[in-house]
Amino acid sequence: MMKSPLYLLDKYVYPALRRQLVLKLYSKGLGVSEISRRLKLSKSLVSRYIRGERGSLVDVSKYRDVVEELDKIAEGIINNDIDEYMVEIQLVKLALYMMKKRYLCIYHGKIDPEINPSKCNICIEAF
């Protein structure tokens, strides 16, 4: 049975975006406790993101436009301009954007052998 693009989004893409955001905040001097507090994530999850134990399958850092958006979100968090709800909204929008741009097709093909990324247009049509 073919795995839905939404499965890919939930299981791999969203954690990858969160991980990249956590790494950005960490590199800007925020500690695990502060990141945990601001993003409403457990300290354990933040630590796993930093160690690469979660959110590592999809490398969002290779997409410059995605990195630029994550930079804006990180700055908004640091400056207290956006709260955890707006962070979630921005991450969901960014994940859907990545699907529409076909950035995730190769990953979808890796986790689901029934998918042929060169023939699949599900994300382009849906998003």
CA torsion through residues 48, 7, 93, 115, sign: positive
CA 80/CA 5 separation, integer angstroms: 33
Task: State CA 39 to chain mean position distance.
Answer: 14
Where are the alpha helices (H) located in 1-127, listed in sequence order? 5-8, 14-27, 32-39, 43-51, 64-78, 84-100, 105-111, 122-126
Digitized pLDDT (tens) for each residue of the chain, 127 residues in all: 777 888 888 999 999 999 999 999 999 999 999 999 999 999 999 999 999 999 998 999 999 999 999 999 999 999 999 999 999 999 999 999 998 898 888 888 788 788 887 887 877 777 6
Residue 3 DSSP class: P
Q: By residue range, what is the domain housing residue 42? A: 5-126
Q: How many domains does the chain have?
A: 1
